[in-house]
């Protein structure tokens, strides 16, 4: 067994790709906060690909962990000289392993916030990027306002030199650059949030305003926050993934990453101090990300919701199982073609029909093993953002809403907490208690679930939506999932 490190790269199985460039000649240009599986399978992969082409040698990545649990990633990567294996899992069962070398260091902020701040304040750092999940932006789920009452935020406002949050660390680094007359860096969000750059700008701006209004004005006018759309299914690494890498390729890697073959990154060209030549490795660098973002939200993300509740109720537990069932595929394609796609403006360079077919192929990949439980989680944050806008658009334009309304009904049935076989469902949602209470009224008062105006607004007042919703909910109770979906064929 070969333990992954810089010294052992030459000993790896010949089937394993490895850096063809000299890592000793790579210098840092990016600090990335939130080094998880997605960053390592996506942004870091693109940078590594550039380096393989002899480019971006001054765009190496310094990873940063802010959360206490990030010490595990620090320990795993530091033992391997910050190398890790990216394993692309193809639908035919073949694995494509590749060792990534773009990351040069990893700093753990709870141990040494000063080191993180100084790393970002260094002149060579021109981008600070983020994958911190939606929760990492510290906004209220209903109002969208920055939460100044957060205890760690309050600490950072009082003690900026020992910041605990990404807001405190980044804003203090920017303050030092301004003081030292160093050009600012770009703050690049790579999180799966609509308008992620705008959200990041608003949240970091709110923190800066609370700390120093003059600094906040400087950030507003000098620091760009480009929007981006990111896409690659990257399941959580499991012990089995680690063991499989050892068995197939004789590599001992403490924390490899597994992913699907597909990858997409659409990035707004809005940078203050330069950027890697990402457009040379497949990144779509554009002036407006919105058309691509809406395409993903309303076709990919909403389709995940269209398959997960029906699938789970019917006894499936993985996305690929659902998308290998022709009945469910017909329903999904019907939603994409008749309801999701009509809400979109033309997307430059994209054939929407082919995009929809590719989504089905991706969902059906048996090697990814994307769980329906993951897709069903936090529905109260997902359905209002991904599916309700489709329903509203279609109602306003006289379009079909039957399948969209059916997805809402399948969520309501799922929230009852038991599948068709009588097995309990572990509902995971910030509103779990209230949702399950309301769903318990489904049979006695069928409109109870959609009367929740916080989630659905005034949709309950629209007779066409209510009729379509009730048709599906009543059918799910009386006939079950398969008979219900057959009515859409």
Cα within 13 Å of Cα(293), Cβ side: 19
**Contact (Cβ atoms closer than 8 angstroms) between residue 255 and residue 73:** yes
**What is residue 140's predicted lDDT score, i.e. its pLDDT?**
82
Q: Predicted confidence band at 143 (pLDDT cuts at 50, 70, 90)?
A: confident
Cβ-proximal residues to 97 (8 Å cutoff; 6+ apart), any chain: 15, 16, 17, 85, 86, 87, 88, 245, 248, 249, 251, 256
**What is residue 7's predicted lDDT score, i.e. its pLDDT?**
97
Q: How far apart are CA 278 and CA 267, in angstroms?
A: 9
Backbone phi and psi for residue 439, each to the nearest 5 degrees, phi listed first: -65, -25
Q: How far apart are CA 3 and CA 252, in angstroms?
A: 5
**What is residue 447's predicted lDDT score, i.e. its pLDDT?**
98
Nearest to 100 by CA among 119, 80, 114: 80
Q: For 3-14, how does the pLDDT look when each residue is reduced to its tens digit (9 = 90+)?
A: 999 999 999 999
Q: How far apart are CA 124 and CA 185, in angstroms?
A: 9
What token pair was written down for 229?
């759309």
Judge if pTM exceeds 0.85.
Answer: yes
Q: For 344-358, how does the pLDDT look when each residue is reduced to its tens digit (9 = 90+)?
A: 999 999 999 999 999
Is residue 141 pLDDT above 80, yes or no? no
Count of C-beta atoms within a 10 Å radius of residue 69: 7
């Amino acid at each position: 067994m070969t333990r992954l490190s810089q010294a052992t790269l030459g000993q790896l199985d010949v089937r394993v790709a490895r850096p063809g460039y000299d890592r000793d000649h790579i210098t840092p240009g990016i600090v990335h906060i939130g080094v998880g599986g997605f960053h390592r399978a996506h942004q870091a992969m693109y940078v590594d690909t550039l380096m393989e082409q002899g480019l971006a040698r001054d765009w190496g990545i310094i990873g940063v962990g802010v959360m206490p649990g990030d010490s595990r990633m620090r320990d795993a990567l530091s033992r391997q000289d910050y190398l890790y294996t990216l394993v692309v899992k193809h639908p035919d069962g073949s694995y494509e392993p590749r060792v990534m070398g773009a990351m040069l260091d990893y700093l753990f902020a709870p141990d040494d916030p000063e080191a993180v701040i100084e790393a970002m304040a260094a002149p060579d750092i021109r981008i600070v990027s983020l994958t911190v999940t939606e929760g990492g932006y510290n906004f209220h789920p209903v109002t969208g306002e920055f939460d100044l009452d957060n205890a760690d935020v309050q600490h950072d406002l009082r003690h900026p030199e020992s910041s605990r949050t990404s807001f405190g660390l980044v804003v203090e680094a920017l303050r030092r650059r301004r003081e030292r007359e160093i050009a600012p860096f770009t703050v690049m969000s790579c999180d799966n949030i609509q308008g992620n750059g705008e959200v990041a700008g608003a949240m970091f701006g709110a923190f800066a305003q609370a700390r120093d209004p003059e600094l906040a004005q400087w950030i507003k006018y000098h620091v760009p926050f480009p929007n981006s759309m990111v896409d690659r299914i990257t399941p959580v690494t499991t012990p089995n993934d680690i063991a499989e890498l050892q068995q197939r390729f004789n590599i001992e890697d403490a924390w490899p990453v597994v992913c699907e073959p597909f990858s997409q990154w659409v990035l707004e060209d809005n940078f203050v101090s330069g950027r890697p030549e990402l457009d040379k490795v497949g990144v779509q660098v554009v002036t407006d990300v919105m058309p691509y973002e809406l395409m993903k939200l309303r076709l990919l993300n909403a389709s995940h919701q269209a398959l997960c509740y029906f699938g789970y109720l019917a006894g499936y537990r993985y996305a690929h199982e659902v998308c290998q069932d022709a009945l469910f595929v017909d329903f999904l394609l019907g939603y994409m073609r008749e309801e999701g796609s009509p809400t979109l403006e033309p997307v430059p360079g994209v054939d929407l029909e082919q995009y929809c077919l590719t989504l089905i192929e991706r969902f059906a990949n048996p090697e990814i093993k994307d769980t329906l439980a993951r897709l069903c989680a936090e529905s109260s944050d997902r359905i209002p953002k991904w599916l309700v806008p489709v329903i509203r658009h279609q109602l306003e334009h006289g379009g079909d809403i039957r399948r969209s309304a059916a997805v809402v009904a399948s969520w309501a049935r799922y929230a009852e907490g038991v599948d068709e076989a009588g097995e309990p469902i572990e509902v995971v949602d910030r509103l779990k208690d209230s949702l399950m209470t309301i769903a318990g009224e489904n049979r006695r008062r069928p409109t109870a679930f959609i009367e929740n105006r916080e989630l659905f607004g005034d949709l309950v007042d629209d007779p066409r939506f209510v009729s379509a919703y009730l048709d599906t909910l009543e059918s799910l109770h009386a006939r079950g999932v398969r008979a219900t979906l057959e009515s859409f064929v």
